[in-house]
Amino acid sequence: MTYDMNDAELPRGSDLIPDGSFVKVIMHLRKGGLDGQGEADRGLLKATKTQGSDVKMLDCEFTVVVGPHIRRKFWQTFTVVGGKLDEQGVSIGWKISKGIFRAMIDSALGLDPQDMSEAAKAKRMLRGLSDLHGITFAAKVRVEPANDPRYADSNRLDRVVLPGEPEYAKVMAGEGVAAAPSNRPARPPAAAAATPPAWSGQAATAPAAPAPRMWERPAGTSPTPAALQPPPAPAPASAAGGPAWLNG
C-alpha cells in the first residue's frame, strides 16, 4: 500500500493576530460528544486529555468578522464541569468560565455589567450553553507562548471588552483600534534540533526527544492542522425564542 501525500492539506500558517489586538469575533461551538446539563447541550461538551481528570469543557472557535484580521481564527476551551473545587464544592474552572460567558453576553448586547434590572437579567438567561453558539462580541486577543519549544505560540482570548470601555464602541463598529500588548513572557529558548531521517541526506545533529503525534498535543497548545481534525460538528440547534444576539 502506498500513500499519496501530494493532495494533503498544508499546515496552518504560523502568523498570529498581534498581541493585544482588539477585534470583533464570532464564537462557534465544536461538539465534543459528551452531554451537558439538559437536552439543549446533548453531545456538546468535550473531555480533557489529562488522564484521570473529570474535567469537561466547551470547545470554542473564534473568528474575526471585520477589520485587518478578518477571517483569522483561534481556539480555546473553557471548563464547564470538574477540576478543583472551592469551599462550597463548586468547580473553580466553571466559575471562571461562567464569568467569561456572562461578559460575552453583555458585550454582544451592549448591556451595562452593573445593570441588574429584570430586563437585563432575563437577557442573561440561557436554555443551555449551546445558546452561546454564534454570539458576536468585542474581544482583546493575546499571544500565548508555547510551553514546549517544539510547538508554535498561539492566540487566546485575553478578555472580553465590555460596554463603557474606550475601545468597545469602535470595535463593535468595525473601526481600527490600536493594540495594547500584554507584555507577557517571551517564548522559551528553542531546544536542540531533532535528528533528521536517514533518507533526508542531512547531517545528524544532537538528538532530541521525539515530538508527540499531532493528536496527542498537550492541552493549551496550538490546534491540530485541518487535515487531521475530525469533520466539523453541525451547529447546535436553536429553538424558537432563543437569545436575541444569536445570529441567524
pLDDT of the residue at 59: 95
pLDDT of the residue at 10: 57
pLDDT of the residue at 12: 55
pLDDT of the residue at 187: 52
- Name the nearest CA neighbour of 128 among 58, 33, 32, 53: 58
- Distance, in Å, from the CA atom of 215 to the CA atom of 112, rounded to the nearest integer, reads 41
The whole-model pTM stands at 0.71
Q: How many C-alpha atoms does 151 have within 13 Å on its Cβ side?
A: 22
- Name the nearest CA neighbour of 22 among 163, 158, 222: 158
pLDDT of the residue at 151: 87
- Distance, in Å, from the CA atom of 29 to the CA atom of 247, rounded to the nearest integer, reads 13
What are the residue boundaries of the structural domains of the chain, listed by start?
21-183
Residue for cell digits 494533503?
8
Mean pLDDT by 10 residues, the chain (248 residues): 74 78 97 90 91 92 96 96 90 95 97 96 94 97 91 94 97 94 60 49 49 42 41 44 53
Residues facing residue 139 across a β-bridge: 23, 160
